[in-house]
């Protein structure tokens, strides 16, 4: 009986110890949880303070930007008034400047031989340049340097074109029709020339000093062959005139054929 009592006491002691240990461990976890909550709360409050300050700064900057924008618009209106213009007119003029600058830049990238083939197109740009210079907007801050650059680049192009007579141009000696089937169409179609029969007007225009009729070329004639490039305005005009004349002749011939015989 005594032994049972001792065992019961020992068991009760271990039970009490376990409960006390569990309570102590639970208290430690609760303390750690409280510490973490306090830490996260402090971080949250700190970030909220930073966010509030940033929102205030953003609101102030927006207000400052709006004020500056109003001042800018006011000054621009005064500026436009001095130039006797408006935003739409400035935009339209800017587009003309940029387009002409791009066109001249493309010509400047051409070889001397290609440029010589486009001399008529380059010459036609003079009126556009003069038009820009005549505008009061060419003196504005936005466009003055651009217009000056266009004028300088155009002068360089004209200087290169002035030397076109010194540029060596490829030539082709006409053969016979019976043997070579040479005509402007077939010559232009040759792989060593343009590999494109529709470019025959380039040869015709370049050799107008000796070709009076595109349908008539003669053996041993030495034809100048311009650089392979798209047809320019002069060459397109020559082609249109030729085809119009052909159409007129065909219509006339058809009319003669349809007349009743006497």
User: Looking at residue 195, which CATH number applies to its domain?
Assistant: 3.10.350
> Distance between CA atoms of 131 and 10, rounded to whole angstroms?
114
Task: Judge if 178 and 248 occupy the same domain.
Answer: yes
Which of 131, 149, 165 terminates a domain? The answer is 165
Task: Judge if 95 and 133 occupy the same domain.
Answer: yes
Does any domain span residue 207? yes
The conformational region for residue 220 under phi > 0 = left, psi -120 to 50 = alpha, else beta, is: left
**Do 225 and 203 contact (CB within 8 A), yes or no?**
yes
Which of 133, 165, 197 terminates a domain? The answer is 165
Give the three-state DSSP class for 86.
Answer: coil
Task: Judge if 141 and 205 occupy the same domain.
Answer: no
Does any domain span residue 152? yes
| Cα angle 130-135-141, degrees, rounded to a multiple of 5 | 115
Record the pTM.
Answer: 0.46
Which of 165, 193, 210 terminates a domain? The answer is 165
Does any domain span residue 143? yes
Task: Judge if 205 and 146 occupy the same domain.
Answer: no
Task: Judge if 150 and 185 occupy the same domain.
Answer: no
| Residue-range definition of the domain harbouring residue 189 | 169-256
Task: Judge if 119 and 190 occupy the same domain.
Answer: no
> Distance between CA atoms of 40 and 34, rounded to whole angstroms?
10
Q: Tell me the pLDDT of the chain (262 aa) as tens digits.
A: 555 565 555 556 555 555 555 566 666 677 788 888 888 888 898 999 999 999 999 999 999 899 888 887 787 777 777 778 888 999 999 999 999 999 999 999 988 878 887 888 999 999 999 999 999 999 898 899 999 999 999 999 999 988 886 666 789 999 999 999 999 999 999 999 999 999 999 999 999 999 999 999 999 999 999 888 899 999 999 999 999 998 888 888 776 655 554 4
Task: Judge if 134 and 174 occupy the same domain.
Answer: no
| Segments in 109-143 forming alpha helices (H) | 112-117, 119-123, 125-134
Task: Judge if 160 and 201 occupy the same domain.
Answer: no
Does any domain span residue 97? yes
Task: Judge if 133 and 201 occupy the same domain.
Answer: no
Task: Judge if 180 and 245 occupy the same domain.
Answer: yes
Does any domain span residue 228? yes
């Amino acid at each position: 009986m005594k032994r049972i009592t001792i065992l019961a006491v020992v068991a009760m002691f271990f039970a009490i110890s376990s409960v006390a240990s569990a309570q102590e461990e639970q208290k430690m976890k609760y303390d750690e949880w409280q510490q973490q909550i306090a830490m996260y709360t402090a971080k949250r409050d700190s970030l909220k303070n930073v966010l509030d300050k940033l929102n205030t700064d953003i609101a102030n900057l927006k207000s400052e930007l709006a004020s500056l924008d109003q001042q800018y618009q006011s000054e621009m209106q005064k500026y436009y008034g001095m130039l006797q213009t408006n935003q739409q007119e400035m935009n339209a003029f800017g587009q003309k400047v940029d387009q002409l600058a791009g066109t001249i830049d493309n010509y400047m990238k051409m070889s001397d031989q290609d440029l010589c083939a486009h001399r008529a197109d380059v010459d036609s740009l003079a009126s556009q340049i003069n038009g820009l210079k005549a505008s009061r907007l060419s003196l504005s801050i936005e466009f003055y340097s651009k217009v000056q650059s266009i004028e300088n680049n155009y002068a360089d192009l004209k200087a290169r074109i002035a030397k076109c007579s010194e540029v060596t141009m490829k030539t082709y000696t006409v053969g016979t029709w019976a043997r070579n089937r040479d005509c402007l169409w077939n010559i232009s179609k040759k792989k060593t020339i343009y590999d494109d029969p529709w470019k025959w007007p380039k040869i015709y225009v370049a050799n107008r000093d000796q070709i009076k009729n595109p349908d008539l070329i003669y053996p041993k004639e030495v034809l100048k062959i311009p650089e392979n490039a798209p047809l320019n305005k002069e060459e397109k005009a020559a082609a249109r005139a030729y085809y119009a004349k052909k159409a007129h002749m065909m219509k006339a011939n058809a009319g003669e054929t349809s007349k009743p015989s006497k």
